[in-house]
Amino acid sequence: MSLAEDIQVIFERDPAATNLLEVLLTYPGLHALLLHRLAHRLHVLGIPVIPRLISHLNRWITGIEIHPGARIGRRFFIDHGMGVVIGETSEIGDNVTLYQGVTLGGTGKEKGKRHPTLGNDVMVGVGAKILGAVTIGDHARIGAGAVVLSDVPPNATAVGVPAKVVVFRAPDGSSRRVEHLPDPELDMISALHRKVEELSARIELLESLLSPQAPQNDGGGANRMDGGPNNVPASSGQRSGEH
């Protein structure tokens, strides 16, 4: 881990970076990472208070809060950075990118490992929240605004609230999609839509059978037109008897 490598990563991942002086002076993600490394080293040495003071100063200057206990790998990049929170037991692999508003947080007051673990080459979109001791696999992507409460496998993309895996990508690192997974919510909505259409068709059929224009059939042949006895008016027998 070196300053030169950190600067190189910024030029690789941010097309807005134009020159070295601009990166050194105006990129809060770089400033936050440098201050965190100092705080983390002091934290590992067991020095009290001072690491947290550095973390607090880091937050005040950059808008990025990183607990001194968090472990961060090489070539880490925070783009824009405002509102990023990285909890104490978070573990971040190499070549990871976080965008503004990302939270790597816990879900309660439990002790021990309670924050996420991010593998290598992970990208976490704007405003995403990854909560609890979940694991995000290598080359995974977390969509903007997602709330991740369970593990995400490698080479997968997870979106939504709560986040669900929606697609896998080729393990060779390309963006080619190799598998589409079913969407349970969409399947349920589609099934309900089909049921509504079926019930509507049955209601229309019942209404057509019960309408006044529909032919009536009482089973006794009251409306038979075949010339049988049931088709003779009641008064005709009386008149023939009179003659």
The pLDDT tens digits of the residues spanning 160-205 come to 889 888 887 767 655 566 555 566 778 889 999 999 999 999 999 8
pLDDT at 180: 57
Identify residue 190 by its one-letter amino acid code.
S
Q: For the segment 14-33, what is each residue's pLDDT rounded down to a tens digit?
A: 998 889 999 999 999 999 99
As a whole number, the mean pLDDT across the chain is: 84
Q: Which two tokens stand for residue 122?
A: 């992970």
**DSSP secondary structure letter of residue 104:** E
In this structure, how many other beta carbons lie within 10 angstroms of the beta carbon of residue 114?
A: 18
pTM for the structure as a whole: 0.69
Q: Give the strand pairing for 117-118 and 177-180.
A: unpaired
Complete DSSP assignment for 164-228:
EEEEEE-TTS---EEEE---HHHHHHHHHHHHHHHHHHHHHHHHHHHSTTSPP--SS-TT--SS-
As a whole number of angstroms, the distance between CA 100 and CA 81 comes to 4
